[in-house]
Structure 1
Amino acid sequence: MSVLVVGMSHKSAPVDLLERVSLDTDAGVKLSHRVLENDYVSESVVISTCNRVEIYVEAERFHGAVDEVSRLLAEHAGLDRDELVRNVYVHYDEAAVAHLFGVASGMDSMILGESQILGQVRDALQQAQAESTVGSALNALFQQALRIGKRGHAETGIDRLAPSIVTAGFEAAGDIVADPSTRFLVAGAGTMSSLAVRTLIERGVDPQRIWVANRTFQRAFELVAAFGVSAVRWESLDVELAGADVLITCTGATGVVFDTERIERATQGRSLTVIDLALPRDVAPAVRDLPGVRVVDLDVLKRQAANTELADDVRQVQDIVEDEVRSFLAAKTASKVTPTVVALRSMATDVVSAEAERLEARLGAAVDDAARKEIRQALRRVAEKLIHAPTVRVKQLVDGPEGLTYADALADLFALDPGAVSAVTTVGGETP
């Protein structure tokens, strides 16, 4: 069994295609369960953010799993297979491990080094745990990825590049965000909107100059309780928009929320900065052509990110990821080899005991207890010497590509019972 990831991100596809592939929570859960219906897949975790959709699976066969996962993703997005293939990436085994570790550390993000992805990876794992679509293999992989993400931010200055998409959006918007007279309207009250409100307040914006509108008024009111901002009903959105200087939107809607007519009616020639952090996008592309209206969306942030130069901190994080990939794969290989070694030693112990009992039965009273003990010890020493070299060799090879093959050969040469190896693996739920 090996890990496989089929994904699409800002690096492989245009934003308009990402919009079609994006998954809300319910759709992600449904896709994760459907993936598990494949005979070659035993675990699945889905990551869906504003700039990526990735399906991780623990797969027995590469081709059978990748074909089915790709088909389901194309079906969800309404894409034909050729269009999907042109824009997705597939990583398997070591490459899939390295990819997830890079994602969790912010190295594959649109805004290099952003830390928000770490929480999104954690949310994806927790969702999979709640839905029981994840098992021991992917759970260990994702837990390691979360540790690597934390390590990268703790040991380097990667946070200086951009702590989140929200921060990057505010920086792209310019001085108006820092102007104390600016009035902010936030459309939506989900995770991204909550992060936007918190970031504004951390930057010194007066909470009384922030209004939040959401289709479910209670969700907007929760931000009032948390941050001291004002909540308005969704039905009053156009009225509030007419008085806003900055619109921040991330509603989670499946279609455009702010079309050209709506924005034009609200502005009537005055200036408005729009920060669209949604995927699919909330603001129609044509809005950017309206006079006095400036739009900062994922397309803008993508172009901005392309100009970011690699810093020493980035290279440090890359080194951390590479080291952790090697450690993870070595541990994974060791977990597969150890049961074979334990089974071999158990077989040797059983042979020694059986031969000692046979010999003692033949000798009977002719041998005293001290002699019997000496015979057993001699037999054990012989057995230990015979299996010492093979067990040392298999442990030496654990870090190399031969590790698993050598373990299989060891089991075959010594005629180890496959059931015995399997039993060692599952004792107490862990490998000894």
Structure 2
Amino acid sequence: MSLVVLGLSHHTAPLPLLETMSLDAAGRAALGDSLTRRDNLSEAVVVSTCNRTEVYVESQTFHGAVTDIAEALTDVTGVASEALREHLYVHYEDRAIAHAFTVACGLDSMAVGEAQILGQMRTALREGQRSGHVGPALNNLFQQALRVGKRAHTETGIDSVSVSLVEAGLARAERELGPLATLDLLVVGAGGMSSLAATTASRLGVRSITVVNRTHAKAVRLAERVGGVALPLSELPAALSIADVVVSCTGSTGVVVDLAAAGDAQVARTGRPQVYVDLALPHDVATEVDSLSGVSVVGLAALGEELSGGTTPPQVQEVADLVIGEVAAYLTDRAAESVAPTVAALRSHAADVVAGELTRLDQRLPDLDDQTRAEVQLAVHRIVEKLLHTPTVRVKELAVGGQGDDYAQALRRLFDLRPGEAVTASVPPERGGLA
């Protein structure tokens, strides 16, 4: 079995295509179902955010996995394979592991170092677990990726240099409108990105915050956290007219602020300038709004261009080095695990031989005193441990070098081992769920 990652992101695809490919929970579940129904794929996890849609699979063959994933993407999204082909990237085995760790650390994000991807990958793993699409291979990969991502944020200085999309959008608004302390902010939506926008703006000292959301109770909770005001969605037109900056990220499948609504707001504002920061995918603000006099609309593509330039900060290099070390450790552990059943079978076989011989000793020398019997048992166990030490260590070393399978097979033939039976008897079932 092999690990394969296939997907597209802001690095490889235009924003309109990413919008089309972005999947909600139902879409991710449908894609996972489509993938795991295919004979070549045994496990699947779907990660879909505003910046990427990726599929991680455990597959019997590489080329079969690429074909299966591409077909499933077309089936679920309706986007023809010809339109996808030039924008897709594929990672296999070692590179796939490195990619997963890199994504979890935020190094592959539009806003380098952002931490939201950790929650999104955790959600993808949980969805896969609940639907039965995740087995031991992808569960272990994602658990380790999440651990590495957490290390990046707790053990390095990446947070000090990670400029979020929200901060970049607010900086753009300041350049066009003046200091945040003189501006009124409207947040449309109350999800993760909207909450980040509200808390970031509050921290940076915006004059006032209004939150509008379809579910009013969520708007109230968010507004209370940032000392703002919550309004129902029906009052969006009035809220638009008083907002200098509008940050929108609703997750809606359609436009939330159309040309007419933005135009009416401009009339009510008597032409005072206004900036819309559209962080949604698909976009919340109609593209035509940018044509209004006095109005600027900045979206993910423009913000991504702002955040992609410049030199690599040392903190980012520190995280990249962390990823390299973690990938090496993961590959070493996985290689050792591949021969673990044979090692367990060898030790089980040796234990059975020792137990049988000690039983026969007891039958032949029933009057042997306890101290002597204990010394004999200890001596026998020491001999066996010394004999097993070298082949056990060597098979693990060879596994890391890619020769473990041949050596493990030789051990199985020499000692007539049946690893499956030994593992079943000696290894407890693995617990599911997140660590």
Coarse TM-score class (shorter-chain normalised): 0.7 to 0.9
Matching residue within 293, 296, 299 for 2:298: 296
- What are the superposed Cα offsets for residues 109-140 of structure 1, whole Å, 9 maximum, x if unpaired? 11122222222223323333444433333222
Distance 2:341 2:255 in 1: 56
Match of 2:108 in 1: 108
1:91-126 alpha-carbon deviations (Å, 9 max, x no partner): 122111100110111110111222222222233233
The one-letter code matched in structure 1 to 2:204 is R
Residue deviations 1:299-344, cap 9 Å, x none?
Answer: 1012112313212111111110000001111112222222211211
- 44-53 or 167-176: bigger deviation: 167-176
User: Take 1:405 and 1:87, find their aligned partners in 2: how far apart are those partners?
Assistant: 39
Counterpart in 2 of 1:170?
Answer: 170
Alpha-carbon contact 2:335-2:396 (below 8 Å) kept:
no
Aligned to 1:54, the other structure's residue is in SS state strand
Query: 1:336 aligned to 2:338?
Result: yes
Find out whether 1:345 has 2:347 as its counterpart. yes
Give the aligned partner of residue 135 of structure 1.
135
Q: Which moved more, 1:249-258 or 1:411-420?
A: 411-420
Could you tell me which residue of structure 2 aligns to residue 401 of structure 1?
Answer: 402
Question: Does the C-alpha gap of structure 1 residues 376 and 226 become closer, same or farther in structure 2, counting only changes over 3 Å?
Answer: closer
Aligned equivalent of 1:243: 242
Contact 1:339 1:425 in 2 (8 A): no
Partner of 1:192: 193
Measure the CA separation in 2 of the matches of 1:166 and 1:12. 22
Identity %: 45
Give yes or no for contact 2:182–2:206 (8 Å, CA) kept in 1.
no
- Alignment RMSD: 2.9
Q: Give the Cα separation in 2 of the matches to 1:177 and 1:35.
A: 50
Secondary structure of the residue aligned to 2:428 is helix
Secondary structure of 2:180's aligned partner: coil
* Contact 1:116/1:165 (<8 A) preserved: no
Give the Cα–Cα distance (whole angstroms) in 2 for the partners of residues 67 and 400 of structure 1.
Answer: 30
Give 1:422 deviation, angstroms: 4.2
How much has 1:172 moved relative to structure 2?
A: 3.0
Deviates more, 1:229-238 or 1:372-381: 372-381
Contact preservation (8 Å) 2:44, 2:58:
yes
The residue aligned with 1:144 is: 144
Q: Check whether the contact 2:105–2:115 (CA below 8 A) recurs between aligned residues.
A: yes
Deviations 1:152-187 (A, max 9, x none): 223332223225322222223334474323121211
Deviation for aligned residue 1:195:
1.4
Query: Aligned to 2:309, which of 307, 310, 318?
Result: 307
Answer with 271-280 or 142-151: which moved more: 142-151
Distance 2:373 2:191 in 1: 75
State the AA in 2 paired with 1:314: V
> What is the identity, as a one-letter code, of the residue corresponding to 2:146?
L
**8 Å Cα contact 1:158-1:314 kept in structure 2:** yes
| Contact preservation (8 Å) 1:21, 1:76 | no
CA distance in 1, matches of 2:398, 2:145: 25
State how far apart, in whole Å, the 2-side matches of 1:133 and 1:407 are. 30
Q: Supply the distance in 2 between the matched residues of 1:123 and 1:378 (Cα, whole angstroms).
A: 53
Distance 1:386 1:25, change over 3 A: same
Do the aligned partners of 2:249 and 2:280 also contact (CA within 8 Å) in 1? Answer: yes
Matches within 5 A, 1:247-286: 247-268=246-267, 269-286=271-288
Instruction: Give TM-score, length-normalised by structure 2.
Output: 0.87
CA distance in 2, matches of 1:261, 1:279: 21
Task: Tell whether the 8 Å contact from 1:28 to 1:48 is kept in structure 2 after alignment.
Answer: yes
1:130 and 1:429, CA in 2 relative to 1: closer, same or farther beyond 3 A? Answer: closer
* Correspondence list, 1:20-419, <5 A: 20-175=20-175, 176=177, 178-206=179-207, 209-268=208-267, 269-351=271-353, 369=368, 387-419=388-420
Note closer, same or farther for the CA distance 1:373–1:300 as it changes in structure 2 (3 Å cut): closer
1:427 match: 428
* Conserved? CA contact 2:345–2:423, under 8 Å: no
- Give aligned pairs, total: 425
* Per-residue Cα deviation, 1:239-263 (whole angstroms, up to 9, x for no partner): 2212221111111111222333432
